[in-house]
Amino acid sequence: MTTLPLRNNEGFLEDAGSWTPEVAQEIAAEDSIKLNENHWEIIDFLREFYKQHEMSPPSNRLFVKAVKEAFGDDKGNSIYLMQLFPGTPAKTACRIAGLPRPTNCL
């Protein structure tokens, strides 16, 4: 176990720049998620999205929309994403990817 970088009270990294793949595995383990290549595909996508747009997809619906735009209907749907990232997929996925909390996810 490494020491995790600074996080807020909901478990989101304070600084997206302090993220590493090992950090992702540790945060995922807290939710009993074992990361496979399907998870990594979405995580890499989110990291790239953040680099380009300096924000997380602002809501769960827009997260699904952005994934759909990038990977098509098979992956850009709530059921697929909820299976990978239980709870509110956008929140869970952003937390693991080291991004800030999506602004409009209640």
Partner 1 sequence: MTTLIVIDQAPYGSWSGREALDMVFSLAAFDQPAALLFIGAGVNWLRKSQDAGGIGQKTVEKNLAAAPVFGVEQILAEQSACERFRLGEGDRLNGVELIPSVRDALDRFERIVFAG
The residues carrying an active-site annotation are 105
Dist. CA 73–CA 88, nearest whole Å: 19
Residue 85: how many other CB atoms lie within 10 Å: 24
Q: How far is the CB of 49 from partner 1 (least distance, A)?
A: 8
The verdict on 3 binding partner 1 (CB under 8 A) reads: no
CB of 31 to partner 1, least distance (A): 24
- Count Cα atoms within 13 angstroms, Cβ side, for 30: 14
- Segment lying near partner 1 (by CB under 8 A), choices 19-27, 33-41, 45-53, 80-88: 45-53
Sign of CA dihedral 62, 66, 72, 76: negative
Q: Minimum Å distance from CB 77 to partner 1?
A: 14
Widest pairwise Cα distance in the chain = 38
The contact set with partner 1 (CB under 8 A) reads 49, 52-55, 57-59, 61-62, 65-66, 69, 103-104
